[in-house]
Amino acid sequence: MLQQLRAEVEPLKGPASLAAVTAIIPCLDEAEAIGEVVRGVLAQGVGRVVVVDGGSRDATAEAAHAAGADVIVEPRRGYGRAMMTGLAALGPDCAVVLFFDGDGSDDPGRIAAVAGPVLANEVDFVLGSRLRGAREQGSLNVSQIVAGRLAGMLIRLRYGVRFTDMSPFRAISRTALDGLGMCEESFGWNLEMQMRVAASGLRIVELPVGQRRRRGGASKVSGDLIVSARVAWVLLRTFIRIAGAVRRTAGRAGPAPRRP
């Protein structure tokens, strides 16, 4: 049985503690936000920031580079494809991979709490839950909440592991990530990772990170109940497809995420 996490995960001592963390930030047309995001992440002591630009029509790549990020342009569309491109650029000094949004909705001040337990080898995977913790009004729309709840329900039914969200704000050890066999190229990437983590019986913790309103206008995935229904349908199809290949490791049921 895994020991219970403290009520609050203490940040690691000193910015240099996060030097072995590489942050991967996929983005598209986020020139207004990406510079501030990159500076905020680096200010926490993260060793390297890799921004994967999906062929932006604005100055996203230039702003990210000016802020201190290594920028890779991936013109082929697909959220998962952008993530795979970022992973291919990881250096030998990376021990923990942090995934972060480029629109300003994730709080850099929570990075130490999310990456710290992985860096300290307390857990293998940390999911930052937007649905827990403080959220700015209007920071999440109905389709995002529905997607998180649906993903959590499906993963619990299939693998017996509880998640409350499908947040992009997450951290995983390089070793654990290399063993997952990630292959999804669509926006089902986050769902696939949580399914594979749950099936592999890795040490998991879910922490509240809340959510801020994105910088630069409404979310690219915003919409009404019709959009929510479409998102749910796509996620359900993606889950069924992935579940056929991702089976629970024999003898390792996988713990429910520990929650402070």
What residues does 172 pair with on adjacent strands? 97, 125
In a domain, 179, yes or no: yes
Measure Cα distances from 260 to 143, 145, 155 in Å: 27, 21, 21
Of 112, 101, 116, the residue nearest 212 (C-alpha): 101
**CA dist., res. 170 & res. 180, Å (int):** 15
Q: Specify the CATH number for the domain of residue 28.
A: 3.90.550.10
In a domain, 257, yes or no: no
In a domain, 8, yes or no: no
| The pLDDT of residue 90 | 97
> How many structural domains comprise the chain?
1
| The pLDDT of residue 138 | 76
- Domain containing 181 equals 15-243
Tokens of 121: 């080898």
Give the pLDDT of the chain (260 residues) as one tens digit per residue.
333 333 333 443 434 489 999 999 999 999 999 999 999 999 999 999 999 999 999 999 999 999 999 999 999 888 999 999 999 999 999 999 999 999 999 999 999 999 999 999 999 999 999 988 888 887 777 778 888 888 999 999 999 999 999 999 999 999 999 999 999 988 889 999 999 999 999 999 999 999 998 775 545 544 566 767 777 788 888 899 889 888 876 444 444 455 55
**CA dist., res. 185 & res. 137, Å (int):** 31
In a domain, 20, yes or no: yes
| The pLDDT of residue 85 | 97
In a domain, 125, yes or no: yes
The answer to whether the CB of 198 falls within 8 A of the CB of 162 is no
In a domain, 3, yes or no: no
In a domain, 4, yes or no: no
For tokens 């910088």, name the residue. Answer: 215
Q: How many CB atoms lie within 10 A of CB 34?
A: 32
In a domain, 102, yes or no: yes
Of 17, 102, 20, 12, the residue nearest 54 (C-alpha): 102
The one-letter amino acid code at 232 reads A
Tokens of 246: 């991702």
**CA dist., res. 229 & res. 236, Å (int):** 10
| The pLDDT of residue 8 | 38
